[in-house]
Structure 1
Amino acid sequence: MTTPHQRAEAELTAYGLTLPETDTGPGWAFTRVLRVRGRMFAIFGDKAQPDDELTITVKLPISFEMVQDLPFVRESRGWYRQHSWAIAHFGPGDDIGAEIPTLQGWLRQSYVAMAPKRLGRLVEGPGPEL
Protein backbone atom coordinates (compact mmCIF):
# COMPACT_ATOMS: atom_id res chain seq x y z
CA MET A 1 0.00 0.00 0.00
CA THR A 2 1.36 3.40 -0.94
CA THR A 3 1.21 6.54 1.17
CA PRO A 4 -0.24 9.88 -0.02
CA HIS A 5 3.35 11.14 -0.19
CA GLN A 6 4.43 8.30 -2.48
CA ARG A 7 1.36 8.87 -4.68
CA ALA A 8 2.14 12.61 -4.82
CA GLU A 9 5.73 11.91 -5.88
CA ALA A 10 4.49 9.53 -8.59
CA GLU A 11 1.98 12.13 -9.83
CA LEU A 12 4.57 14.92 -9.84
CA THR A 13 7.09 12.68 -11.59
CA ALA A 14 4.51 11.77 -14.24
CA TYR A 15 3.74 15.47 -14.71
CA GLY A 16 7.45 16.31 -15.00
CA LEU A 17 7.89 13.63 -17.65
CA THR A 18 5.29 15.40 -19.85
CA LEU A 19 7.72 18.30 -20.26
CA PRO A 20 9.93 18.13 -23.39
CA GLU A 21 13.05 15.94 -23.29
CA THR A 22 12.80 14.97 -19.62
CA ASP A 23 13.76 11.76 -17.89
CA THR A 24 14.22 10.42 -14.39
CA GLY A 25 17.29 9.12 -12.69
CA PRO A 26 18.95 8.46 -9.39
CA GLY A 27 20.22 11.49 -7.57
CA TRP A 28 22.56 11.09 -4.66
CA ALA A 29 22.38 7.93 -2.55
CA PHE A 30 18.85 8.54 -1.27
CA THR A 31 17.25 10.86 -3.84
CA ARG A 32 15.50 10.64 -7.19
CA VAL A 33 15.64 13.37 -9.82
CA LEU A 34 13.86 14.75 -12.85
CA ARG A 35 16.24 15.94 -15.56
CA VAL A 36 16.06 17.87 -18.80
CA ARG A 37 18.92 16.94 -21.12
CA GLY A 38 20.86 15.61 -18.14
CA ARG A 39 20.38 18.72 -15.96
CA MET A 40 18.43 18.23 -12.74
CA PHE A 41 15.38 20.41 -12.27
CA ALA A 42 13.71 18.55 -9.38
CA ILE A 43 15.04 16.42 -6.54
CA PHE A 44 12.77 14.10 -4.57
CA GLY A 45 13.70 12.63 -1.18
CA ASP A 46 16.01 13.30 1.71
CA LYS A 47 18.35 11.26 3.88
CA ALA A 48 16.55 8.52 5.85
CA GLN A 49 13.15 9.85 4.83
CA PRO A 50 10.24 7.54 5.76
CA ASP A 51 7.51 6.67 3.23
CA ASP A 52 5.04 9.06 4.87
CA GLU A 53 7.22 12.13 4.24
CA LEU A 54 8.41 13.83 1.07
CA THR A 55 11.00 16.50 0.37
CA ILE A 56 11.08 18.23 -3.02
CA THR A 57 13.84 20.63 -4.09
CA VAL A 58 13.32 22.86 -7.15
CA LYS A 59 14.92 25.96 -8.68
CA LEU A 60 12.55 28.95 -8.42
CA PRO A 61 14.28 32.03 -9.87
CA ILE A 62 10.97 33.91 -10.13
CA SER A 63 9.17 33.02 -6.89
CA PHE A 64 11.95 31.91 -4.50
CA GLU A 65 11.53 34.85 -2.11
CA MET A 66 7.72 34.67 -2.24
CA VAL A 67 7.52 31.00 -1.19
CA GLN A 68 9.80 31.28 1.85
CA ASP A 69 6.89 31.99 4.22
CA LEU A 70 4.86 28.92 3.22
CA PRO A 71 4.55 26.46 6.13
CA PHE A 72 5.97 23.52 4.15
CA VAL A 73 9.04 25.37 2.80
CA ARG A 74 12.29 24.79 4.66
CA GLU A 75 14.99 27.40 4.83
CA SER A 76 17.48 27.00 1.98
CA ARG A 77 21.10 27.53 2.95
CA GLY A 78 24.42 28.03 1.24
CA TRP A 79 24.54 27.08 -2.42
CA TYR A 80 20.83 26.27 -2.55
CA ARG A 81 19.84 29.73 -1.29
CA GLN A 82 22.40 31.51 -3.45
CA HIS A 83 21.02 29.79 -6.57
CA SER A 84 17.28 30.06 -5.64
CA TRP A 85 16.60 26.36 -4.96
CA ALA A 86 13.57 26.00 -2.67
CA ILE A 87 13.06 22.98 -0.42
CA ALA A 88 9.50 21.86 0.31
CA HIS A 89 8.98 19.24 3.01
CA PHE A 90 5.74 17.43 3.75
CA GLY A 91 5.43 15.39 6.93
CA PRO A 92 2.97 12.63 7.87
CA GLY A 93 0.19 15.05 8.90
CA ASP A 94 0.48 17.38 5.90
CA ASP A 95 -2.08 17.33 3.09
CA ILE A 96 0.37 17.08 0.20
CA GLY A 97 -2.46 16.35 -2.22
CA ALA A 98 -3.81 19.88 -1.76
CA GLU A 99 -0.46 21.30 -2.91
CA ILE A 100 -0.12 19.29 -6.14
CA PRO A 101 -1.14 22.19 -8.45
CA THR A 102 1.36 24.51 -6.74
CA LEU A 103 4.11 21.90 -6.95
CA GLN A 104 3.36 21.30 -10.64
CA GLY A 105 3.80 25.04 -11.21
CA TRP A 106 7.09 24.90 -9.36
CA LEU A 107 8.23 21.99 -11.52
CA ARG A 108 7.44 24.05 -14.64
CA GLN A 109 9.34 27.07 -13.29
CA SER A 110 12.33 24.91 -12.39
CA TYR A 111 12.22 23.17 -15.78
CA VAL A 112 12.25 26.52 -17.62
CA ALA A 113 15.16 27.69 -15.45
CA MET A 114 17.26 24.59 -16.16
CA ALA A 115 16.26 23.68 -19.73
CA PRO A 116 17.95 25.04 -22.83
CA LYS A 117 16.14 28.25 -23.83
CA ARG A 118 14.48 26.65 -26.86
CA LEU A 119 12.88 23.95 -24.70
CA GLY A 120 11.97 26.38 -21.92
CA ARG A 121 10.04 28.55 -24.38
CA LEU A 122 7.91 25.52 -25.29
CA VAL A 123 6.37 25.38 -21.80
CA GLU A 124 6.29 29.05 -20.80
CA GLY A 125 2.89 30.68 -20.68
CA PRO A 126 -0.45 29.61 -19.22
CA GLY A 127 -0.42 26.59 -16.97
CA PRO A 128 -0.44 25.69 -13.27
CA GLU A 129 0.29 28.58 -10.94
CA LEU A 130 4.01 29.36 -10.70
Structure 2
Amino acid sequence: MPKPPPFSRPVTALRKAALAFPETTEDHPWGECAFKVRGKVFLFLSTGDDTLSLSMKLPQSNGFAILLPFTKPTGYGLGKSGWITATFTPGESIPLPLLLDWLEESFCAVAPKRVSATLAAAPVAKARPAALRSRR
Protein backbone atom coordinates (compact mmCIF):
# COMPACT_ATOMS: atom_id res chain seq x y z
CA MET A 1 0.00 0.00 0.00
CA PRO A 2 1.46 3.39 -0.96
CA LYS A 3 2.41 5.75 1.81
CA PRO A 4 0.14 8.83 2.10
CA PRO A 5 1.68 12.22 1.34
CA PRO A 6 3.54 13.56 4.39
CA PHE A 7 1.06 16.35 5.12
CA SER A 8 -2.25 14.73 4.25
CA ARG A 9 -3.62 14.66 7.82
CA PRO A 10 -2.99 18.32 8.75
CA VAL A 11 -4.02 19.56 5.30
CA THR A 12 -7.28 17.60 5.47
CA ALA A 13 -8.02 18.93 8.97
CA LEU A 14 -7.23 22.54 8.06
CA ARG A 15 -9.20 22.37 4.82
CA LYS A 16 -12.21 20.81 6.53
CA ALA A 17 -12.15 23.39 9.34
CA ALA A 18 -11.75 26.31 6.92
CA LEU A 19 -14.64 25.19 4.73
CA ALA A 20 -16.87 24.75 7.80
CA PHE A 21 -16.87 28.49 8.50
CA PRO A 22 -19.89 30.35 7.13
CA GLU A 23 -19.73 31.70 3.57
CA THR A 24 -16.30 30.20 2.94
CA THR A 25 -15.08 29.22 -0.51
CA GLU A 26 -11.88 27.62 -1.78
CA ASP A 27 -9.92 29.10 -4.67
CA HIS A 28 -6.61 28.12 -6.30
CA PRO A 29 -4.60 31.18 -7.33
CA TRP A 30 -0.86 30.86 -7.92
CA GLY A 31 -0.93 27.07 -7.48
CA GLU A 32 -1.95 27.11 -3.82
CA CYS A 33 -5.23 26.91 -1.95
CA ALA A 34 -6.83 30.11 -0.76
CA PHE A 35 -9.78 29.98 1.60
CA LYS A 36 -11.97 33.06 1.39
CA VAL A 37 -14.96 34.54 3.12
CA ARG A 38 -16.95 36.82 0.85
CA GLY A 39 -13.96 37.03 -1.48
CA LYS A 40 -11.36 37.93 1.18
CA VAL A 41 -8.61 35.41 1.94
CA PHE A 42 -8.15 34.21 5.51
CA LEU A 43 -5.91 31.18 4.79
CA PHE A 44 -3.31 30.44 2.15
CA LEU A 45 -2.31 26.76 2.14
CA SER A 46 0.44 25.28 0.01
CA THR A 47 1.94 21.79 0.01
CA GLY A 48 4.76 20.09 -1.77
CA ASP A 49 6.76 16.94 -1.26
CA ASP A 50 9.05 18.68 1.19
CA THR A 51 7.03 21.52 2.76
CA LEU A 52 3.69 22.54 4.17
CA SER A 53 3.21 26.29 4.25
CA LEU A 54 0.24 28.26 5.51
CA SER A 55 -0.38 31.95 5.99
CA MET A 56 -3.04 33.56 8.19
CA LYS A 57 -3.90 36.97 9.58
CA LEU A 58 -3.39 37.04 13.35
CA PRO A 59 -4.17 40.46 14.81
CA GLN A 60 -4.30 39.24 18.44
CA SER A 61 -1.70 36.47 18.58
CA ASN A 62 0.79 37.76 16.02
CA GLY A 63 3.31 38.82 18.70
CA PHE A 64 3.37 35.31 20.17
CA ALA A 65 3.17 33.49 16.83
CA ILE A 66 6.16 35.26 15.34
CA LEU A 67 8.38 34.01 18.20
CA LEU A 68 7.90 30.37 17.19
CA PRO A 69 10.69 28.72 15.19
CA PHE A 70 8.42 27.67 12.30
CA THR A 71 6.92 31.13 11.63
CA LYS A 72 7.91 34.35 9.92
CA PRO A 73 6.08 37.47 8.76
CA THR A 74 4.26 36.81 5.50
CA GLY A 75 5.90 38.34 2.44
CA TYR A 76 4.52 40.86 -0.04
CA GLY A 77 3.99 43.35 2.79
CA LEU A 78 1.29 41.25 4.45
CA GLY A 79 3.45 40.73 7.55
CA LYS A 80 2.99 44.42 8.36
CA SER A 81 -0.75 43.76 8.62
CA GLY A 82 -0.41 40.88 11.08
CA TRP A 83 -0.08 37.99 8.61
CA ILE A 84 2.28 35.14 9.55
CA THR A 85 3.52 32.20 7.52
CA ALA A 86 4.17 28.85 9.18
CA THR A 87 6.32 26.32 7.33
CA PHE A 88 6.89 22.66 8.15
CA THR A 89 8.99 19.87 6.65
CA PRO A 90 8.28 16.12 6.77
CA GLY A 91 8.91 14.65 10.20
CA GLU A 92 8.43 17.95 12.04
CA SER A 93 5.76 18.11 14.70
CA ILE A 94 2.79 20.14 13.44
CA PRO A 95 0.85 21.83 16.28
CA LEU A 96 -2.57 21.26 14.71
CA PRO A 97 -4.65 22.52 17.70
CA LEU A 98 -2.70 25.80 17.65
CA LEU A 99 -3.08 26.13 13.88
CA LEU A 100 -6.83 25.55 14.18
CA ASP A 101 -7.04 28.31 16.81
CA TRP A 102 -5.13 30.61 14.47
CA LEU A 103 -7.46 29.64 11.64
CA GLU A 104 -10.47 30.79 13.65
CA GLU A 105 -8.70 34.04 14.58
CA SER A 106 -7.84 34.68 10.95
CA PHE A 107 -11.39 33.98 9.79
CA CYS A 108 -12.82 36.38 12.39
CA ALA A 109 -10.24 39.04 11.46
CA VAL A 110 -11.09 38.91 7.77
CA ALA A 111 -14.82 38.10 7.72
CA PRO A 112 -17.35 40.90 7.70
CA LYS A 113 -18.65 41.54 11.22
CA ARG A 114 -22.10 40.11 10.39
CA VAL A 115 -20.54 36.83 9.31
CA SER A 116 -18.03 36.47 12.15
CA ALA A 117 -20.73 37.48 14.64
CA THR A 118 -22.58 34.26 13.84
CA LEU A 119 -19.75 32.37 15.55
CA ALA A 120 -19.89 34.55 18.65
CA ALA A 121 -23.69 34.78 18.84
CA ALA A 122 -24.48 31.07 18.73
CA PRO A 123 -23.69 28.67 21.58
CA VAL A 124 -20.05 27.63 21.26
CA ALA A 125 -20.82 23.94 20.74
CA LYS A 126 -23.02 24.73 17.74
CA ALA A 127 -21.24 27.76 16.30
CA ARG A 128 -17.73 26.38 16.00
CA PRO A 129 -17.00 24.12 13.04
CA ALA A 130 -16.88 20.46 14.08
CA ALA A 131 -13.13 20.23 13.40
CA LEU A 132 -12.56 22.97 15.96
CA ARG A 133 -15.05 21.66 18.55
CA SER A 134 -13.58 18.15 18.65
CA ARG A 135 -10.19 19.25 19.96
CA ARG A 136 -11.34 21.25 22.96
Instruction: Give the letter aligned to residue 44 of structure 1.
Output: L
Unpaired runs of at least 5, structure 2: none
Q: Give the TM-score normalised by the residue count of structure 1.
A: 0.83
Q: For residue 113 of structure 2, what is the aligned residue in structure 1? A: 117
What is the percentage of aligned positions where both structures have the same residue?
31
Question: Counterpart of 1:35 in structure 2: which amino acid?
Answer: K
Gaps of 5+ in 1: none
Q: What is the CA–CA distance in structure 1 between the aligned matches of 2:120 and 2:70, rounded to whole Å?
A: 26
Which structure 2 residues correspond to residues 17-36 of structure 1 after superposition, within 5 A?
Answer: 17-28=19-30, 30-36=31-37
Deviation at 1:37, TM superposition (A): 1.0
Task: Quote the offset at 1:67 in angstroms.
Answer: 0.9
Aligned letter for 1:120?
S
Amino acid at match of 1:12: L
Q: Residues of 2 paired with 1:41 and 1:93: CA distance?
A: 26
- Number of aligned residue pairs: give it: 123
Alpha carbons 1:74, 1:86 under 8 Å: kept: yes
Higher fraction of helix = 2
- Segments of 4+ in structure 1 off by > 4 A? 125-129
Max Rg structure: 2
